[in-house]
Amino acid sequence: MVFRMEGNDAEGVIKLESFQSAWNYGKALLETPCRLVDRVTGRSMDEVELKEVKKRSEHEMKKTLTWWDLIWFGMGSVIGSGIFVLTGFEVKNHVGPGVVLSYVISGISAMLSVFCYTEFAVEIPVAGGSFAYLRVELGDFVAFIASGNILLEYVIGGAAVARSWTSYFATLCNQPSDKFLIQVHGLAADYSQLDPIAVVVLVVIGFFAVFSTKGSSRFNYIASIVHVIVLIFIIVAGLTKAEAKNYSDFLPFGPRGIFQASAVLFFAYVGFDAVSTMAEETKNPGRDIPIGLIGSMACTTFLYCMLSVTLCLMQKFSDVDENAAFSVAFEAVGMSWAKYIVAFGALKGMTSVLLVGAVGQARYLTHIARTHLLPPWLAKVNERTGTPIYATVVMLSATAIVAFFTSLDILANLLSISTLFLFSLVALALLVRRYCARGVATQLNVVKFIVCIILIVGSSVASAVYWANTTKWVGYTIMVPLWFVGTVGIWLLVPLTKKPKIWGVPLVPFLPSASIGINIFLLGSLDKASFRRFGVWTAILLVYYLFVGLHASYDMAKIQKKQRLEAKTESKLDEENVAPSVTGSGTNNEDHI
């Protein structure tokens, strides 16, 4: 682990103290409890993320993006395999025509999270996205655990989309969806269908992501525009074959099916957080980021709702195909030729998702490496391309390995749980930012804030557990009022300690509190296997943090503190040296300047 010094000794490379020798590392391990307390309670600052941490990439990322680029990046990152792959399965098995309500609920949850992201992205426009936001407001430890899960989300999301790409490519070639998969009987069932085409697609995407962010943006919005045109065609052509009788049994599985489907279909909205990682490359973050994020999410939600309505009006829910819902629906109404347009549109959309994901995940990894929680060579930005080449290659390599082996159903469930967990933390971080600013919030107000947060999070968790274990409703008459009391308590009892400078989330604390409640509630609809996988991955992250990341971060904090003290000392000496020169000759004064 090395640290590249800035300033006059920019070429000097200094090893972090804890890793200079086996003796130092052993001593660091003995100090783990004290260091852990320091890192859990320590919080970064906006200025540190914007200046000191950014410098560690050696070169600046190029500011080339506008709100137009961000809108299409947002739509390109979201509208992919989710709507084409998961909709059919949920319609047939969990929700029926009521799937439109599931998309509305998932869309509301995603939009609430978008609002929380926009304020952070405008105030802290760096490549780290949610990692940087959580590091500033909730501390180093929480940021690392959350960032590890978001990296898992990126890898799994990219792998899921890449495998879907192969399935729709097979459909476009008029072949069964599993035609190009290689069956290996010696492996476990969920990992035995190998997908070499997904790997090839990811390699091609990697070249675009490495070459140029602006070039990737142009390719993305051209592909996204074509994709939206195809989606509009599907809606218009499908509605010409609509039959109202297919909507007669709107909720065949009951109200619970709506929320059960919402938790899984949230996968279809995943990806917009990648746009926030591009804030460092945005020309005018204060204007472009809110327009780009909110605009793209509003358009996406509308398209999803219209597509789901169209599907259920074309076919009875029990006849919907689980794997290729839209293609089979057009065949069923006598428009077989349209399935090729559907497959083409799906491929276009998934290509955009993979490209935006590759760009976003590399920037996320870059900022984590800047803090030395991961090897710092991952933070390097190429001087010629202005892109983080090493981070891009590492993330896409991991994605390709997962895509090669793992089936889609496992990927989709694990993705949703990581995303919902992260979005809940970002909403919580926003409340901390507004009501617990350092040096401003009093101890009494901090205590009141913590009590209210416990009510909000506790009631949300209790609601999720209650939902997962019973079909009764009486419990919500207790838990929902507790959530409301906690939210109103913050509003009435805890004064604001920080206001946004440029762009702020409206309806604080109600909007971020609602985001926490909905995200946690949707977690209660996911299967137990997903929670086990999530727990295993979090345990792996914790072990890595305790043995490596904690000590690297602790040493970096010491180096930063030392640098700031030296800078203050130099500044003070400069002021003392300037004072007598003012009374001296003009020539001497000019020489000093």
Looking at residue 94, the DSSP 8-state letter turns out to be: I
- How far apart, in whole angstroms, are the C-alpha atoms of residue 553 and residue 41? 13
> Coil, helix or strand for 251?
coil
> Coil, helix or strand for 42?
coil
Residue-wise pLDDT for 415-436, tens only, equals 667 788 888 999 999 999 999 9
| Percentage above 70 pLDDT, the chain | 87
Exposed / middle / buried, residue 125 (Cβ in 10 Å: 0-12, 13-18, 19+): buried
Average pLDDT of the residues in 50-68: 72
Q: Name every residue whose Cβ is closer than 8 Å to that of residue 545 and which is 6 or more positions away in sequence.
A: 141, 144, 145, 373
- How far apart, in whole angstroms, are the C-alpha atoms of residue 130 and residue 553? 18
Mean pLDDT, all residues of the chain = 82
pLDDT tier at 392, thresholds 50, 70, 90? confident
pLDDT attached to residue 496:
92
Least confident of 218-232, 283-297, 570-584: 570-584
Looking at residue 93, the DSSP 8-state letter turns out to be: I
Return the structure tokens found at 152.
């898992």
pLDDT attached to residue 305:
93
The single residue listed with the structure tokens 């926009």 is 118
Residue-wise pLDDT for 472-490, tens only, equals 888 888 999 999 999 999 9
Higher pLDDT, 538 or 385: 538
Least confident of 72-76, 217-221, 431-435, 499-503: 217-221
pLDDT attached to residue 591:
36
pLDDT attached to residue 168:
77
Q: Contact, 427 vs 113, CB < 8 A?
A: yes
Does the pTM surpass 0.85? The reply is no
Higher pLDDT, 50 or 213: 50
Q: How far is C-alpha 84 from the chain's CA centre? A: 21
Exposed / middle / buried, residue 274 (Cβ in 10 Å: 0-12, 13-18, 19+): buried
The region, left, alpha or beta by phi > 0 then psi within -120 to 50, assigned to residue 183 is beta
pLDDT attached to residue 3:
43
> Coil, helix or strand for 480?
helix
pLDDT attached to residue 383:
75
pLDDT attached to residue 367:
81
pLDDT attached to residue 378:
86
Residue-wise pLDDT for 513-524, tens only, equals 999 999 898 888
Q: How far is CA 317 from CA 41, 95, 475, in A?
A: 52, 9, 32
The single residue listed with the structure tokens 């990439």 is 57
Give me the sign of the Cα torsion angle 250, 252, 255, 256.
negative
| Percentage above 90 pLDDT, the chain | 22
Residue-wise pLDDT for 317-342, tens only, equals 988 887 678 888 888 888 888 878 88
Length of the chain: 593
Higher pLDDT, 578 or 454: 454
The single residue listed with the structure tokens 């105030």 is 123
Domain ranges of the chain: 62-434
The single residue listed with the structure tokens 């597509």 is 307
pLDDT attached to residue 447:
94
Q: What fold is seen in the domain 62-434? A: Amino acid/polyamine transporter I (1.20.1740)
pLDDT attached to residue 338:
85
Q: Name every residue whose Cβ is closer than 8 Å to that of residue 306 and which is 6 or more positions away in sequence.
A: 235
Residue-wise pLDDT for 88-147, tens only, equals 888 988 899 999 999 999 888 889 988 998 888 888 887 777 888 888 899 888 988 888
Return the structure tokens found at 76.
């390109």
Q: Contact, 490 vs 452, CB < 8 A?
A: yes
pLDDT tier at 414, thresholds 50, 70, 90? low
- How far apart, in whole angstroms, are the C-alpha atoms of residue 271 and residue 156? 12
- How far apart, in whole angstroms, are the C-alpha atoms of residue 166 and residue 359? 21
HEC readout, 487-541: HHHHHHHCCCCCCCCCCCCCCCCHHHHHHHHHHHHHHCCCCHHHHHHHHHHHHHH
Best CA proximity match to 79, nearest among 284, 306, 286: 306
Q: Contact, 221 vs 68, CB < 8 A?
A: yes
